[in-house]
């Protein structure tokens, strides 16, 4: 009995040891959930599916370190009005040896606009000629502004100038004969999927793990150093923590200060800030009796001690925000934050005393200039940190401005309904930006009515609209910077509070990682250092 | 609950009336009984399915809202058309029934395009049961033994130790136990793999975690019913007859005290397929639990209904199984219709 037991223990340990003895160029990463499908044009393609496709497919362009770089296209040209793009497709091969052609890219576009596919992210490609009408069933697929004159050339015609076109539009190939042979099952399993990227899919234990192995037929295979990427499906924080510690997992993202502290003190791990495009901010109702005054809004914004706030709320994992866009958002690898100072910081330098500014504002409104007689209603949607948030704002505004803050807590849906109806005074919420820098700015356009701040500016509208239509990166950055200054500082339509940042925790011998949140590089340049 | 509890308890007084299990014609009666139960089962299944179908469509939201934030109106239109969600619920229901009866299909998942609901259940229920059934079995067997020992050694040291284990097992949430085990046995003493599936070693920790709670439950049930039984006259009688203690325990005590534990075995087996969700997601096991829960969260209608049907079926089957076990273990119990 003892012998059997001992043998069993040995066996178990052996198996564990074999598991831990990873091949040199192999890494294990995770996704929170199982990819719904690997069919890039399916209605329900999700982030996990896109993540796998960065490795297993070959888009015309990839976003690498924030900039778009040629990938599946060898070169491209555009005509003078930047409405027609011509791509030269690179010599690349599907894993079964068939050449990737322009027709494969064309087919994927045709599938996206095909109404019967009900592709979900269709608005991303509305900039392509006739895409919207075809998707609505008013035109035939053949009239789409994408053509493939020969197998090396793909031509895309746009409706209007779209500077972020290469970043936003999904430019992935799909092979018609294969997709049609598999029907609905395309992309739901190893046998029903065809790779043409740096890696190929070789195993898929649903809800457990996907296995990607280097694809020797990939055009740039010589520069792909990893031999194998395992993608574990795990959505339990403690499990991932254990897996990081014992070497099962090589990469993790977390915003939990306790875990971060542990990994930062361990030389075996690299911790890097992973800026997300999300901004937490305070929304002022510009229609309100009190808040219609710019100085009042500016004073409220300046009275928020952001350093103190992030320290108290997030143990400074999230950085304080003084502008609209975080370091994640930019144009072609240049973040707006790199070229423009944060507007609220600049404003703060010119206003030494927010309380005096607040009193000035009260005088302008013809109100009693005693701030202690002012009570503002602070609306917030209920969540785990609601009470702490309320207490912090009460403390900050109470102490610095001397006003009273009354809290109004409701569920997100009714909170947001009230905000949209203008039935609030001050609210706080978070909003996520997208790879296209214009997304966050468009929220504040007078005619978009997406963000109920009710503080609008014609100058802002002009700047944003002309920046949206320009393809000169420098000019765009300048205009967005000016527009940002107007909304955040001059008008103080909202008060930015903090950016969201996750920590990427990586085993320190793993190099070549792209920490840009919008990166579509996949694991193409990642390698394990000896 | 007329369909679930069709076992008639026709108990005879304890005593010396001899009971011959192998009565002539009993086998045939048993088969008839089982057939009737299966017929009832189909009826229950139909009712549950119908209710689920309509309830599910009462909840706001659809699979698309769970996924995409900024939706052009056109996407919704195309999407509803693609999955037939634009039709009246009654019509959708008829289409669903037609699918079952004419093609024998439960439809295709909406969230996971191209995955047939039936295939998914067939493929992944197996993984769940590999963990879950073994865990319930271990929990049952060990629980029975511990409970019996605990009762026999009442108020002595073994009883106290076992009681502590049982209380821990009932009160410790499974996710806590799983995280603890993961930390202890994959980080502190790296004996087992943390996440994933494939080798037998991957199964050990999840099974241990999952068996803990049933083990505790069976221990508690068993302890109290054994205590009940050993004070009965017929035990004293058996001992007086000169039977050895172990014989008394095996022949009389166990048989008579196991019934309450058997009663909860049914629901426990059924829970394997839904209750395993937490363990499956913590250990990255490709089981059905994750499918069921994500289906509900994402309003994946065909998958919800498929899983609900499967669960109902398993539940009723396990009740039937338990009822049959009753008869085998305690011959005093008759199935209804047996004796007329």
* Percentage above 70 pLDDT, chain A: 96
* Cβ–Cβ contact A206 with B under 8 A: yes
Which residue, among A6, A14, A120, would best test binding to B if mutated, counting the most B CBs under 10 Å from its CB? A120
* Cβ–Cβ contact B113 with A under 8 A: yes
How many angstroms separate the CA atoms of B269 and B139, rounded? Answer: 11
Interface contact B82-A116, CB threshold 8 A = yes
A80's tokens: 């003078």
Interface contact B194-A135, CB threshold 8 A = no
- A36 contacts in B (CB within 8 Å)? 67, 111-113
8 A C-beta contact, residue A306 and residue A347: no
* Percent helix, strand and coil across chain A, each to the nearest 5: 35, 25, 40
- A120 contacts in B (CB within 8 Å)? 64, 67-68, 71, 75, 79
* Cβ–Cβ contact A346 with B under 8 A: no
Interface contact B283-A243, CB threshold 8 A = no
A286 contact partners, CB below 8 Å, separation of at least 6: A292, A297, A453, A454, A455, A456, A493
Q: Where are the alpha helices (DSSP H) in A43-175?
A: 47-56, 102-113, 131-135, 165-168
How many angstroms separate the CA atoms of A276 and A278, rounded? Answer: 5
How many angstroms separate the CA atoms of B60 and A232, rounded? Answer: 32
Give A191→chain B minimum CA distance, Å.
13
* Cβ–Cβ contact B224 with A under 8 A: no
How many angstroms separate the CA atoms of B197 and A352, rounded? Answer: 61
Name the residue facing A209 among B186, B190, B196 (closest C-beta).
B196
The predicted structure's pLDDT at residue B19: 41
How many angstroms separate the CA atoms of B260 and B280, rounded? Answer: 29
Which run of H or E residues covers position A253? strand A251-254
Name the residue facing A232 among B108, B195, B204 (closest C-beta).
B195
The residue in chain A having the minimum alpha-carbon distance to the alpha carbon of residue B196 is A208
First to last CA, chain A: 44
Say how many C-beta atoms besides its own lie within 10 A of residue A50's C-beta.
17
Q: What is the DSSP letter of A128?
A: B
The residue in chain B having the minimum alpha-carbon distance to the alpha carbon of residue A233 is B284
How many angstroms separate the CA atoms of B140 and B271, rounded? Answer: 14
A156 contact partners, CB below 8 Å, separation of at least 6: A84, A85, A87, A109, A128, A145, A146
Between strands A228-233 and A26-31, the pairing is parallel
How many angstroms separate the CA atoms of B116 and B100, rounded? Answer: 13
Which residue, among B284, B293, B307, would best test binding to A if mutated, counting the most A CBs under 10 Å from its CB? B284
What SS3 class is residue A278? strand
The predicted structure's pLDDT at residue A342: 94
Q: What is the DSSP letter of A412?
A: H
Interface contact A208-B285, CB threshold 8 A = yes
Name the residue facing B290 among A185, A207, A243 (closest C-beta).
A207
Interface contact B282-A238, CB threshold 8 A = yes
* Cβ–Cβ contact B333 with A under 8 A: no
C-alpha B139: how far from chain center: 13
- Cα angle for residues A19, A25, A29 (degrees, 5° grid): 65
Give A14→chain B minimum CA distance, Å.
9
Which residue carries 């031999």 as its tokens? A227
A401's tokens: 């401005």
- A132 contacts in B (CB within 8 Å)? 74
How many angstroms separate the CA atoms of A281 and A430, rounded? Answer: 6
Interface contact B197-A16, CB threshold 8 A = no
How many angstroms separate the CA atoms of B82 and B302, rounded? Answer: 14
Which run of H or E residues covers position A407? strand A404-410
Interface contact B124-A205, CB threshold 8 A = no
The predicted structure's pLDDT at residue B265: 87
Bridge partners (DSSP) of residue A154 are: A87
User: For chain A, which residues score pLDDT lower than 50?
Assistant: 17-23
Say how many C-beta atoms besides its own lie within 10 A of residue A336's C-beta.
23
User: B residues 78-97 near A, CB within 8 Å?
Assistant: 78-79, 81-82
Which residue carries 């509900």 as its tokens? B296
Bridge partners (DSSP) of residue B161 are: none
Whether the pLDDT of residue B104 is over 90: the answer is: no
8 A C-beta contact, residue A44 and residue A36: yes
- B191 contacts in A (CB within 8 Å)? 9, 12-13, 16
Whether the pLDDT of residue B13 is over 80: the answer is: no
* Cβ–Cβ contact A155 with B under 8 A: no
How many angstroms separate the CA atoms of A466 and A400, rounded? Answer: 39
What SS3 class is residue A291? coil
The residue in chain A having the minimum alpha-carbon distance to the alpha carbon of residue B199 is A15
Between strands A404-410 and A84-89, the pairing is unpaired
The predicted structure's pLDDT at residue A66: 86
8 A C-beta contact, residue A452 and residue A419: yes
Whether the pLDDT of residue B12 is over 60: the answer is: no
The predicted structure's pLDDT at residue B6: 39
The residue in chain B having the minimum alpha-carbon distance to the alpha carbon of residue A133 is B74
A49's tokens: 């599916």
8 A C-beta contact, residue B201 and residue B177: no
Name the residue facing B192 among A12, A182, A205 (closest C-beta).
A12
Which residue carries 């109902």 as its tokens? B312
* Cβ–Cβ contact A10 with B under 8 A: no
B274 contact partners, CB below 8 Å, separation of at least 6: B289, B292, B293, B307, B311
Name the residue facing B193 among A19, A33, A46 (closest C-beta).
A19
Give B196→chain A minimum CA distance, Å.
6
- What HEC string does chain B produce? CCCCCCEECCCCCCCCCCCCCCCCCHHHHHHHHHHHHHHHHHHHHHHHHHHHHHHHHHCCCCCCCCCCCCCCHHHHHHHHHHHCCCCCHHHHHHHHHHHHHHHCCCCECCCCCCCEHHHHHHHHHHHHHHHHHHHHHHHHHHHHHHHHHHHHCCCCHHHHHHHHHHHHHHHCCHHHHHHHHHHHHHHHCCCCCCCCCCCHHHHHHHHHHHHHHHHHHHHHHHHHHHHHHHCCHHHHHHHHCCCCHHHHHHHHHHHHHCHHHHHHHHHHHHHHHHCCHHHHHHHCCCCHHHHHHHHHHCCCHHHHHHHHHHHHHHHHHHHHHHHHHHHHHCCCCEECCCCC
Band (B67; pLDDT cuts 50, 70, 90): low
- A121 contacts in B (CB within 8 Å)? 68
ipTM above 0.85, yes or no: no
* Cβ–Cβ contact A12 with B under 8 A: yes
Give A209→chain B minimum CA distance, Å.
7
The predicted structure's pLDDT at residue B4: 39
How many angstroms separate the CA atoms of A305 and A315, rounded? Answer: 14
Q: Among A281-295, A296-310, B66-80, B293-307, name the one with the lowest average pLDDT.
A: B66-80
With 0-12 / 13-18 / 19 or more C-beta atoms within 10 angstroms meaning exposed / middle / buried, residue B29 is: middle
Region B177-195: what's the mean pLDDT? Answer: 90
The predicted structure's pLDDT at residue B9: 40
How many angstroms separate the CA atoms of A358 and A403, rounded? Answer: 10
How many angstroms separate the CA atoms of B84 and B87, rounded? Answer: 6
- Cα angle for residues A360, A365, A371 (degrees, 5° grid): 55
The residue in chain B having the minimum alpha-carbon distance to the alpha carbon of residue A10 is B191
What SS3 class is residue A26? strand
The predicted structure's pLDDT at residue B105: 85
The predicted structure's pLDDT at residue B300: 87
């Amino acid at each position: 009995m003892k012998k059997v037991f001992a043998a069993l223990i040995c066996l178990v340990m052996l198996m564990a040891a074999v598991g831990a003895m990873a091949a040199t160029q192999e890494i294990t990463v995770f996704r929170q959930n199982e990819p719904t499908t690997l069919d890039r044009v399916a209605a329900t393609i999700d982030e996990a599916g896109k993540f796998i496709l960065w490795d297993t497919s070959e888009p015309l362009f990839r976003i690498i370190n924030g900039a778009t770089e040629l990938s599946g296209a060898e070169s491209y040209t555009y005509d003078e009005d930047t409405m027609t793009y011509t791509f030269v497709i690179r010599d690349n091969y599907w894993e079964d040896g068939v050449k990737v052609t322009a027709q494969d890219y064309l087919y994927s576009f045709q599938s996206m606009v095909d109404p019967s596919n009900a592709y979900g992210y269709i608005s991303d490609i509305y900039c392509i000629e006739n895409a919207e009408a075809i998707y609505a069933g008013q035109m035939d697929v053949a009239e789409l502004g994408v053509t493939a004159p020969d197998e090396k050339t793909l031509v895309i015609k746009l409706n209007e100038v779209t500077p972020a076109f290469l970043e936003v539009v999904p430019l992935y190939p799909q092979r018609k004969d294969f997709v049609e042979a598999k029907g609905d099952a395309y992309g739901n399993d190893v046998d029903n999927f065809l790779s043409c990227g740096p890696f190929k899919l070789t195993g898929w234990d649903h809800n457990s793990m996907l296995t990607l192995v280097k694809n020797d037929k990939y055009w740039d295979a010589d520069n792909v150093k990893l031999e194998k990427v395992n993608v574990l499906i795990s959505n339990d924080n403690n499990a991932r923590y254990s897996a990081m510690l014992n070497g099962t997992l090589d990469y993790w993202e977390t915003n939990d200060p306790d875990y971060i502290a542990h990994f930062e003190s361990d030389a075996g791990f690299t911790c890097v800030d992973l800026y997300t495009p999300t901004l937490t901010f305070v929304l002022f109702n510009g229609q309100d009796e009190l808040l219609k005054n710019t100085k009042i809004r500016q004073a409220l914004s300046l009275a928020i001690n952001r350093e103190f706030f992030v320290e108290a709320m997030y143990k400074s994992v999230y950085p304080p925000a003084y502008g609209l866009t975080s370091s994640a958002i930019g144009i072609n690898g240049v973040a707006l934050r790199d070229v423009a100072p944060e507007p609220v910081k600049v404003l703060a330098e010119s206003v030494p005393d927010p309380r005096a500014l607040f009193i000035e504002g009260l005088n302008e409104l013809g109100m009693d200039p005693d701030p202690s007689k002012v009570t503002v209603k602070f609306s917030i949607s209920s969540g785990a940190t609601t009470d702490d948030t309320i207490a912090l704002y009460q403390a900050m505004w109470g102490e610095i401005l001397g006003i009273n803050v009354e809290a109004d807590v409701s569920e997100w849906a009714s909170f947001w309904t009230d905000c949209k109806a203008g039935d609030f005074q001050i609210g706080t919420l978070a909003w996520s930006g997208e790879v296209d820098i214009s997304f966050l700015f468009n929220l504040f356009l007078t005619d978009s009515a997406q963000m109920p701040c009710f503080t609008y500016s014609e100058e802002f509208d002009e700047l944003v609209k002309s920046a949206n239509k320009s393809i000169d990166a420098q000019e765009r950055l300048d205009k967005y910077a000016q527009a940002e200054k107007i909304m955040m500082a001059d008008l103080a339509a909202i008060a930015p509070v903090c950016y969201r940042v996750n920590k990427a925790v990586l085993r320190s011998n793993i190099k070549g990682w792209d920490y840009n949140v919008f990166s579509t590089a996949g694991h193409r340049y990642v390698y394990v250092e000896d | 609950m007329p369909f679930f509890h069709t076992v008639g308890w026709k108990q005879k007084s304890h005593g010396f009336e001899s009971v011959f299990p192998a009565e002539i014609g009993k086998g045939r009666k048993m088969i008839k009984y089982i057939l009737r139960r299966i017929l009832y089962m189909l009826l229950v299944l139909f009712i549950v399915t119908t209710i689920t179908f309509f309830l599910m469509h009462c909840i706001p939201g659809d699979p698309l809202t769970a996924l995409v934030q900024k939706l052009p109106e056109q996407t919704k239109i195309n999407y509803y058309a693609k999955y037939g969600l634009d039709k009246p619920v009654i019509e959708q229901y008829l289409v669903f029934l037609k699918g079952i009866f004419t093609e024998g299909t439960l439809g295709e998942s909406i969230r996971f395009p191209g995955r047939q609901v039936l295939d998914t259940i067939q493929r992944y229920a197996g993984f769940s049961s590999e963990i879950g059934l073994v865990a319930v079995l271990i929990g049952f067997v060990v629980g029975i033994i511990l409970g019996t020992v605990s009762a026999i050694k009442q108020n002595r040291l073994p009883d106290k130790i076992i009681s502590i284990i049982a209380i821990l097992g009932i009160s410790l949430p499974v996710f806590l136990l799983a995280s603890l085990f993961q930390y202890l046995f994959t980080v502190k003493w790296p004996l087992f793999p943390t996440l994933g599936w494939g080798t037998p070693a991957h199964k050990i920790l999840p099974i241990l975690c999952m068996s803990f709670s049933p083990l505790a439950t069976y221990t508690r049930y068993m302890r109290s019913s054994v205590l009940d039984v050993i004070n009965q006259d017929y035990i004293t009688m058996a001992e007086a007859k000169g039977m050895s203690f172990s014989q008394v325990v095996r022949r009389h005590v166990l048989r008579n005290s196991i019934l309450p534990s058997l009663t909860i075995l049914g629901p426990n087996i059924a829970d394997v397929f839904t209750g395993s969700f937490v363990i499956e997601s913590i250990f990255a096991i490709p089981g059905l639990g994750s499918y069921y829960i994500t289906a509900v969260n994402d309003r994946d209608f065909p998958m919800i209904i498929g899983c609900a049907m499967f669960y109902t079926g398993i539940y009723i089957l396990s009740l039937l199984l338990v009822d049959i076990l009753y008869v085998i273990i305690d011959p005093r119990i008759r199935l209804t219709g047996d004796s007329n």
